[in-house]
Structure 1
Amino acid sequence: MTKKQISIIALDPRAGQSYGADVRSLFGDVAEITIYAVADGTVTGRLPYSDLFVVSTDAFPSAEALASHIPPQCPTMAVQASFKHSELERLKTLPSGEKILFVNMTHTMAREAIAQLEQFGINHVQWVPFYPHAVLDDPTIRIGVTPDEMRYMPAGIETTIDIGQRVCTSGMMIEIALRLNLEHLLKTPPFVAYFQSVATNNYSFDKLFDRSFRLASQFHILMDSLSDGVIAVDERGIVFASNHQAQDITHLNVEQVEGQPYSQHFPYIPFGECLQQQTKIPVKVIKVNGTPLNVEVVPILREGTCMGAFAILQRFDDMEDRQTQLRSQLFHKGHYAKYGFEDVIGTSAAMEHTKTVLRRMAQSESPVLLIGETGTGKELFAHAVHRASRRSAGPFVAINVAAVPENLLESQLFGYEDGAFTGAKKGGSPGLFEFSHRGTLFLDEVEGMSMALQVKLLRALQEREVMRVGGNRIIQINVRIIATTNESLEEKIQQGTFRRDLYYRLCTLPALIPPLTQRGEDLMLIMEHFKQELGATFTLSPEVSGFFHRYRWPGNIRELRNVVEYLVYTGQSVITMDDLPPR
């Protein structure tokens, strides 16, 4: 039998290896498991085909970013992590009431893990999150716990407990088996042992799983959908399970409905149509007790036999709140520098000098102003400076100042409070200064900022504090600024469109990015890189090669890439002057 292909994508390589080991322990005999990590650069371009991609929620900043790496038609699912029972038992022995440091890669990850521990009943201690660049200001803390992140444990902690990487949940393993038509594995001893070793906050999972293998498919749905209402029926339409969320939505207790036909209690759910046609019933909008719901019904099929069906119920309000939370998580986790100095192509003296200077500047905490013509790669260098700085573990938040309208730019940079303006999100929103705390804020084309916002920016840089639009609370920030400009700020000062005091604040460490015309043979190195990227095989005639070296390249590297892409579509193996773009 041909082995299935399972690809695991995580943000951190160590987490990816841990998830891969869990999956391999159960599916290694029937599937090839490939591990990718965004942080180590193994996720580049379109990845090879796989029967299933299992992706951690922090790996990509958006669904679009994920889709750019996944081959068409390849299914994806999310990594779900939990703790082993044995590790939870260790933590139950911690001294009651003690302050315990929980050390993880980021503040968000530390808070998420703490919340999960408290759900599992480990709430007899006071958890204190700790992460890279955090400050331990409580000398009484003597115990530290970490999920295999001892590298971030602060010095001076007397007792350290490494509980190991979080493990994949039972529900996740069941979903993998069902998606790959490997449900026959669910009754094997390795799966049963794994299920018994991993903690779950679903009180009914073990009870339902022990009833029979025949109900295994329904169990994984209950596990994975506990945030929604779930009602399950067998092939005769008899209700055998429903979760707390479903009971809350329908106001019916499980004891009232189990063992009875669905039509007595849920006539509005199209179970009959689903069981008869053995096909999924798309989402429908219904009202239950005056509350609008989304209802979807899916059949449970095994070896061509319909074993039952389940319905997923979602309140509109709950669904919107969940989407808001997910977008917030993605917004937090998507801010990181993608490029380093090793990604800068070129060996010319001008470029080597620029890289040397910027590597030194990266070690400073002062603002950096990158000056250069359009298309010279200023943003790439901004990423590289952050990656080489002491803030590399912190966020890298970028915004093109010139591309955002003034009335929107202020709220994006400084945030806003509830009701600050018409259309403001309920509860307000943090600004980019807050999101880039302990990291870097990259202001692209800073010359496009209005005089009014220049005053607010100057104050933020001088006082290291911001105030949200419509607010009255001072928020302390610790942010390094990297700005770029392709215009002469000195001339703008003379014209009265740029503040002199802000200029001197931003221009503490100025760096000139050389144009393509000053980079000699870097031109051909960069062109070869673009040819490989675009799959081009053409060569240049001597006449064209000489012309390229004489040409001014006003658009610099961006223009060069456009030209290479144009030449790809000429279909010529040797490019002559007649093949060049009309301009």
Structure 2
Amino acid sequence: MINKSISIITYSRKHMKHVIAQLESFLGSEFKITGHSIQEGIKGPVSDTLVLIGHEYLKDEAMKYITQDSDVLVARRSLNHSELENILQIPKGEKVLFVDVNKYLAENSVSLLEDLGINHIEMYPYYPDIEYSHRADYAITTGETHLVPDYISKVIDIGYSKIDLTTITEIMLKFDVMDERAKKLSSKYIQDFVYSSKKVVRTLKENNLIMKQLNTILDVINDGIIGIDGNCNIIFSNENAKKLFDSNHDDNIDLNIISDLDILKICGNNFEKYRKIHEINGKKILLTMMPIKQDDSDSGIVMTFKDLSEIVEMENMVRSNLLKKGHIAKHRFSDIVGNSEVMKKAINIAKRLAKSDSTLLLTGESGTGKELFAQAIHNESKKSNGPFVAVNFAALPENLLESELFGYEEGSFTGAKKGGHTGLFEQAHKGTIFLDEIGDASLKIQARLLRVLQEKEVLRIGATKIIPIDIRIIAATNKNLDELVERGEFREDLYYRLKVLPIEIPPLRERKEDIPYLIERIMNRFPNGRDMKLSSELERALMDYDWPGNIRELENVLEYMYNIAEDNIIDIKKLPSYIDNISIKKDAKYSEIGYNIEKIESKIPLKDAYTILSALKREKEEGNIHISRKRLADLLNKTHLTEQMIRKRLDILAELNLVVKNRGPKGTRITYQGERFVDKIKENRIKANI
């Protein structure tokens, strides 16, 4: 009678206990099973009727302890199939680590899974001391969860591998107990098979349900959809496609009736995406074709057919919804009035920069039309079909501004809306967000804005999920951000992130030649405003005013006078009372030359003012709008004016709005008011020793 005694040699004690438990479940208590762990150390020789070595990789080490008179069997292993369902749920293409105690086990387990048909993921063996460069979100392990890298959060533990059916059969044959235990053995493995099969059946049922759902979805989609194989045979179509081709069955659909398309030339050829307008049965159709990829080769094509009339209708609906939300840019560059040189220059720069997706910063005084520029830039940009979302930092308190900009999750704070709130950055996805009055943003908001600019992603208040966004950012301010940075009121890193593409919009006092055109445009907005005229006296007064509120103030003044006008001629008496220095009548000392001579003479000799301004005017007429003080001194080197005298007089002329001084190489330029001063002196031949 054979002595029913087995010795087992494994690497670890934990694995040894697992193998003993598996053998006892098949062989029963009449077998004596002794375990040995190489990790803990084996004392003395191992001698038995049968010695079972736990893995092939342990054979050389184990044989050192086994006596020659013992029969030896190396166990073959199989993975725990009950957990395969979880592995199948891993998204296709994911990088996955298979974690085990050594290289052999890790690589062997990967091979076993691949033999089972697990090939939708990229598996990499991982074991202690490996130099590993791949980052992965998933890990699979056979009970060795303590070896999984800390950064991996999704771990599938399939448990220790089992001794496979062939090894168990060999053991039973060795001890001549196959007959009495065959039923139990087959029953056990059949149970496992049935359990796995049930999962497969359930999955198939789910797949059948999914297929029915997909067919329903295909039929309710407004587009026609057709699938063809590599030989141009139709493999599926939806109801809308059949209607488009006047067919009731796939076999009757004739793709050759598509105008200007040879479908046979496309089938079987590699291409990325096809999108063109064709005609089918008298209808204009947008045809889109995408290749079906399988093993990096094209195995068919999915075709979608969209009626162009529906596209127009959908665009109108989208624009209507955007209008309701205010997320649309109404103005274009053609809406900007600007015939002056400085305005033409600003518009030309804006048009060029509109083509870029980089962040843009608009600077200029209040009322100069920064949002008008922002809308025009959006409509000229690559994101013109997306939303235009405007937010004013000066109009909202900080706590409300943060939730409006970034959004929030449900329950993130008291009063939060059920379902949460989509922030303005998310609403601007695929479009432009206009950050008006950015200089009024708090330092806390600035910190969050910096992350959006750097990473192009937002985190809602109370959320943990980061949301990527594709937006173009245009910021605007009427404040001096350089000074705010120096005072620590504006983050320097945010300032340079915003100032990638700067555009300065000139104030109205620097482009007074645009005023008559602005007056005409504004008056035309009012009912019958086109028929109303301004008196010449009023026009001169409006030209001479400095307009500290810029175009917005001009609009308000014209609207006020329009509403109180008694006939079609608006005279200077209709000016609002708060403007006390615009009217020639209101200043008895106002000269016919268009400026207060006494005021000029009290600060600077009239001859010096005329000499400097005449030189600046001549340079402007020759195309040199800005000139440096050194250049001006060279032009006036035959006069009594030194460079130091010129510097002081330019400061005074700037105070009187006759010139505009700029820092650096930009230099000085004459204003419209300065030009009128020179012209009027010539016209009236004023005797001032000139």
Q: TM-score, normalised by structure 2?
A: 0.40
Kindly name which structure, 1 or 2, has the bigger radius of gyration based on alpha carbons. Answer: 2
